[in-house]
Amino acid sequence: MIISKQVEFSASHICRSPLLSDAENERIYGAAANPMSHGHNYLVDVAIEGAPDPVTGMILDLKELKEILEDRVLRVYDHRLLNREVDSFETVVPTVENIAIDIWNRLAGEIPLPARLQSVKVHETRELFAEYRGEA
Amino acid sequence: MTVRIGRRYGFSATHRLFNPALGEAENRAIFGKCANPFGHGHNYEIELTVRSGVDPVTGMAVPLSKLDTLVEDAILADFRHRNLNEEVPAFREVVPTTENLAIEVLRRLHVAWPGTFPAAVILEKVRIWETERNICELSNES
């Protein structure tokens, strides 16, 4: 069984790779390549897989999950310029794909057993999301 | 690393749920007010889920401009502000329910996909919202 919790953060980013020319960056990322940055209200769905505990009826303690998300994700991401203020994005472009992978990496070892992280789905806008399930 | 990208598109169209093989009363019983003879409209939303590896340079799994162009040309251009029953040949004989709309969308994507994306970029599913409460999901892999 899967339980999913949604959290929100607001952040700015610049989709621009130093390995590409200005023209290539603008062709690939369009307006998102603006070096002055732009921002989104991101929604993150964190799905946890497990069996409900026979006593509590819960897959995991949601208060504990909330604290983990606060400490490992929101504290790092909320109201930041991701390129400058989140170390994962020093050399990696903070596309919505890479944000989903980075949040997965921050959470995967933190979920109390026997529950496990199943999916991290990051909605950048209403029209665009990326989901990572830890697959190679 | 394999990720799933979801991209949502909107279009507005008219449809009428009515099967001429059934009688007037039967259509009314099955489709209710959706069988009204003059048709009615919705703001539809289509969401595609695409599975792919992430390009290490761009950080992107799917070039969104390519996906947007494909969806515009293969689907939206034919559906936007149309009467689906009257103006989309697939629905001359087939009732344009959300289910059949999803099947037609997937069929069109099957035709256009190989010329646009390499085999490693996999269309995983299509979801269509007819209203906020009516959603049809069609997996491409089952």
Instruction: Give the DSSP letter string of A32-70.
Output: GG-TT-EEEEEEEEEEEE----TTT--SS-HHHHHHHHI
- Residue A41: C-alpha distances to residues A7, A57, A72 (Å): 10, 33, 18
Angstroms from B9 CA to nearest CA on chain A: 7
Q: Do A132 and B5 touch (CB under 8 A)?
A: no
Q: For this structure, is B40 an active site residue?
A: no
Average pLDDT in chain B: 95
Q: Do B59 and A93 touch (CB under 8 A)?
A: yes
Residue-range domains of chain A with CATH: 2-132 (3.30.479.10)
Distance CA B31, CA B130 (A): 15
Q: For this structure, is B136 an active site residue?
A: no
Q: Do A132 and B58 touch (CB under 8 A)?
A: no
Q: pLDDT by residue (tens digit) across B79-94?
A: 999 999 999 999 999 9
B64 touches chain A (CB under 8 A): yes
Respond yes or no on whether the N-terminal peptide bond of residue A35 is cis (omega within 30° of 0).
no
Containing H/E element for B25? Answer: helix B24-31
What is the model's pLDDT at position B96? 96
Q: For this structure, is B81 an active site residue?
A: yes
Instruction: Answer yes or no: are the C-beta atoms of A121 and A129 closer than 8 Å.
Output: yes
Distance CA B58, CA A36 (A): 18
Q: Report how many Cβ contacts below 8 Å link chain A to chain B.
A: 65
Instruction: Select which of B40, B81, B86, B137 is catalytic.
Output: B81
Q: pLDDT by residue (tens digit) across B25-43?
A: 999 999 999 999 989 999 9
Q: Do B57 and A19 touch (CB under 8 A)?
A: yes
Domain boundaries, chain B: 2-139
CATH superfamily of B2-139: 6-pyruvoyl tetrahydropterin synthase/QueD (3.30.479.10)
| Mean pLDDT per 10-residue segment, chain A (136 residues) | 96 95 95 93 97 95 96 96 96 97 98 97 97 96
Model confidence, pTM: 0.87
What is the model's pLDDT at position B134? 94
